[in-house]
A and B are shown apart, each in its own frame.
Chain A
Amino acid sequence: MFEPKIIAFLCTWCSYTGADLAGTTRLKSPWNIRAIRTPCSGRVSPELIIRAFDEGADGVLVLGCHIGECHFDTGNHRTAKRIPILKELLSFVGLEPERLRLDWVSASEGERFAHITNDFTETIRQLGPCQWQQKPSWRQTRPELAVITELEAAE
């Protein structure tokens, strides 16, 4: 069976702790989920998500605090505005918008974390491998942009 690779951006104050709780309460969440800790879901910029698809992710999950509970007051408000726009842009370039999902998990919702990750993995499994990664990376097709890679390395 196809096993997707999924990148999950987890806010350190809520969903990262929620994932921890899911683990300590022995709830099963799929191994396809690979967590990347961010200081706030507001830190998850579109370029991070594009980069994940670019490097071969089949799905990207962004989890933050519930609206009104953001550790930084309004960081998640930005995410709530950004992600729907990015979804539209993704469908514009031919990617299923279901491959990107934004949801809210608080630090006490281990069960919810397990449920969302299982549900999302199942969705991606049904969708099949992401076509994005079949195309050659811009790094290979556009050698004139190699300077970007150099700049990134220099940062």
Chain B
Amino acid sequence: MSVGRHKNITLLTYAEVEDVSGVVGDFKVIVRKKARYVNEELCNGCGTCVEKCPWKKIPDEFELGLGYRTAIHFQYPQAVPKIPRIDAENCVYFKNGKCKACEKFCLRGAIDFEQQDEFVEFEVGTIILATGFKNFNPEKTPKYGYKKLENVLTGLEFERMVNSGGPTTGRVRLADGSIPGKIAIIHCVGSRGDHNEYCSRVCCMYSLKLAHLAKELIGADIIEYYRDMRTFGKDYENFYERVREEDIAFVRYEDIRVSEDQEGLVVTTTDLYNGDIISNHVDMVILSTGMEPQEDQQKIASTFGISLSPDGFFLEKHPKLAPVETATDGVFLAGTCQGPKDIPDTVAQGGAAAASALSLMDYGRVVLEPFTASIDPEKCSGCLICVDTCPFGAIDTTIHNGRTISQVNEIICKGCGTCVAACPSGAASQLGFTNHQIFSEIDGILRQSSLMELTI
């Protein structure tokens, strides 16, 4: 809320970054503001249009399909800025040209069906990426029966259910409307070997929280199927101890399967401690789904000129010493776009990213790595092979003594040396890694009569 009101912060929601060019201290960012068909300057967020919209049976994305929304809607109740948008795919006006109920009832005349996508250009010094994560879709692993069997929910769906502002106004109910008597919570869905190798870090704790909430709200019998309990954060272990005393069963499982018989859902698993195969009848199964990178993570990475780690999240500059920086100077990371993490860690990383960005800008000057390439204007033949080779577009052409030759922009150059290796006339050279220096290294190593002399 205070971000939306701050005079130095421009908040653009429902917008996408189209293109980024330039270097640290001088980025040019082109943002596409998508048409929401509501004039943001006139709208005061009264919500009359949402009430009057006759098209009310659209599955609500925010409620994960458990509730409904209208064609003109707020993304969620606390959305900032509080301006609705018209969903052109579902709005009846965009289908057959009739209705306009929202326009008729809007007292401020803010509805604008003619609005087009708008492109805005910004000049910025630093960029912080906080694009978040995507929830794992358990349909990918058929053994959980998600979407095939009734009353198999993800943790997030259950979370909406227990929320007093959610679609069931906080009542936990099965699909037939009755109260579940026995709930199974399955950990590590989409983590640690199930499609993803990494641990998503948050599932153990939110599973415990959901168990605690379900116990408190409906007093159901709860079985937690876990693989390793990872309660790593401050005070987390205390919470685990507390939940354990709440008459909740914990089963450490090896392999698990959710199926259905006449009596309801059956969770079959191998108990890791004694090898017994255990089957339990339950009314509801909650899948503690892990975190995955966003679907367009690769696209965002190439827009901002950064890389991905093997698990698909953004790659930081150094896992321990530079966890908020990226290989591109001036681009910082915050939150789960860099890897799965919980709220305290996300807040800490957000603060660190903001501080790193500020300290860089406050300094007023940019310090560069010294390993930049250079091109000897006398040796350069002007073939311009290097121009295509450079991954960063750091090589321009210039006129030297009436000839067109290449020239390295040392601010953009990251020092990969690809141009040096490609240059056919030996004009390109790189500080710290000149051919002469590497030749000397090779010679020094190989001219020893025995390699053993070098081994100490």
**Contact between B391 and A106, CB atoms less than 8 A apart:** no
Query: Inside 8 A of B442's CB, which chain A residues have their CB?
Result: 7, 36, 48, 51-52, 55, 57
A47 to B452, CA, bound (A): 26
* A43 cross-chain contacts in B, Cβ below 8 A: 416-418, 420-421, 430, 433
By a CB distance below 8 angstroms, the chain B residues around A7 are 442, 445-446
The residues in A between 32 and 50 inclusive whose CB is less than 8 angstroms from any CB of B are 32, 34, 36, 38-40, 42-48
| Residue of B430, B438, B439 with most partner-chain A CB within 10 A | B438
Tell me how far the C-beta of A14 lies from the nearest C-beta in chain B, rounded to whole angstroms: 11
CB distance from A13 to the nearest CB of B (A): 8
- C-alpha gap A43/B434 in the complex (Å): 10
Interface digits, B144-168 against A, CB 8 Å rule (1 contact, 0 not)? 0000000000000000000000000
How many of chain B's residues touch chain A, expressed as a range?
35 or more
The interface stretch among B75-83, B231-239, B303-311 is: B303-311
Shortest distance between the CB of B404 and any CB in chain A (Å): 23
Please name the residue on chain B nearest to A154 by beta carbon. Answer: B436
B371 at the A/B interface (Cβ < 8 Å)?
Answer: yes
A150 at the interface (CB under 8 A from B): no
- Cβ contact of A75, chosen from B310, B315, B418, B436, cutoff 8 A: B418
With a CB–CB cut-off of 8 A, which chain B residues contact A42?
Answer: 416-418, 421
Whether the Cβ atoms of B443 and A55 lie closer than 8 Å is yes
B262 interface residue (CB < 8 Å to A)? no
Which A residues are in CB contact (< 8 Å) with B433?
38-39, 43
Q: Which residues of B contact A70 (CB under 8 A)?
A: 307, 391
User: C-beta contact mask, B287-299 vs A, less than 8 Å → 1, else 0?
Assistant: 0000000000000
- What's the Cα separation between A39 and B455 when bound, in Å? 25
A82 to B423, CA, bound (A): 13
A138 contacts the other chain (CB 8 A) = no
**Bound-complex Cα distance A38 to B432 (A):** 10
Which residues of chain B are within 8 angstroms of A44 by Cβ–Cβ distance? 421
Q: Please, which residues of chain B bring their CB within 8 A of the CB of A56?
A: 446-447
Residue B435 is within 8 A (CB to CB) of chain A in the complex: yes
Q: Establish whether residues A32 and B451, one from each chain, have CB atoms under 8 Å apart when the complex forms.
A: yes
In the bound complex, residues from chain B placing their C-beta under 8 Å from that of A45 are 420-422, 435
The number of chain A residues with a CB under 8 A from chain B is 38
Closest residue of chain A to B327, judged by CB? A71
Q: Within the complex, which residue of B307, B414, B451 is in contact with A3, where a contact is CB–CB below 8 Å?
A: B451
Secondary structure at the A interface, as helix, strand, loop or mixed, is loop
B415 touches A48 (CB 8 A): no
Which among B307, B309, B392, B422 is the interface contact of A78 at CB below 8 angstroms?
B422
B381 sits at the interface (CB 8 A) = no
B441 neighbours in A (Cβ, 8 Å): 36
Partner of B436, one of A40, A46, A66, A152: A152
Q: Take A3-B451, A73-B391 as given contacts and tell me if A39 and B310 are in contact as well, using a CB distance cutoff of 8 Å.
A: no
State which of A3, A47, A74, A82 has its C-beta within 8 Å of the C-beta of B435. Answer: A47
**Chain B residue with minimal CB distance to A31?**
B455
Partner of A40, one of B308, B416, B438, B439: B416
Whole-angstrom distance from the CB of B41 to the nearest CB of chain A? 40
From B306, which residue of chain A is reached at the shortest CB distance?
A73
Nearest-neighbour CB distance to chain B for A85, whole angstroms, equals: 13
Does any Cβ of B come within 8 Å of A69's Cβ?
Answer: yes
A74-B308 Cα distance, complex, nearest whole Å: 13
Interface 1/0s, chain B 403-439, versus A by CB < 8 A? Answer: 0000000000011111011100000011011111011
Cβ of A70 to closest chain B Cβ, rounded Å: 7
Query: Is A5 part of the contact surface with B, judged by Cβ < 8 Å?
Result: yes
* Residues on B with beta carbons closer than 8 Å to the beta carbon of A48: 421, 435, 438-439, 442
Contact B446 A155 (CB under 8 A): no
Among residues of A, the one whose C-beta sits closest to the C-beta of B420 is A43
Provide the residues of chain B in CB contact with A5, threshold 8 Å: 445-446, 451
CA distance A48 to B371 in the complex (A): 18
Residues of chain B within 8 A (CB-CB) of A71 are: 307, 327, 416
| Inter-chain contact A155/B434, CB cutoff 8 Å | yes
Question: Taking CB as reference atom, which chain B residue is nearest A69?
Answer: B307
| Given known A-B contacts A43-B430, A75-B416, A55 and B307 have beta carbons under 8 A apart | no
Which of chain B's residues have a CB closer than 8 A to the CB of A51? Answer: 439, 442
CB neighbours of B9 from chain A (8 A): none
Query: In the docked arrangement, what's the CA distance between A5 and B443, Å?
Result: 12
**How many angstroms between the C-alpha atoms of A46 and B62 in the bound complex?**
56
Identify 12 new A-B residue pairs, CB closer than 8 A, beyond the known A42-B418, A48-B421, A71-B327: A3-B451, A7-B445, A31-B452, A43-B420, A43-B421, A52-B442, A72-B391, A73-B307, A74-B391, A75-B391, A75-B417, A153-B436
A-B contact list, 16 entries, CB within 8 Å? A34-B451, A42-B417, A43-B418, A43-B420, A45-B420, A46-B421, A51-B442, A68-B308, A69-B308, A69-B315, A72-B327, A73-B391, A75-B418, A152-B436, A153-B436, A155-B436
Q: Which residue numbers of A lie inside 8 Å of B, CB to CB?
A: 3, 5, 7, 31-32, 34, 36, 38-40, 42-48, 51-52, 55-57, 66, 68-75, 78, 82, 106, 108, 152-153, 155
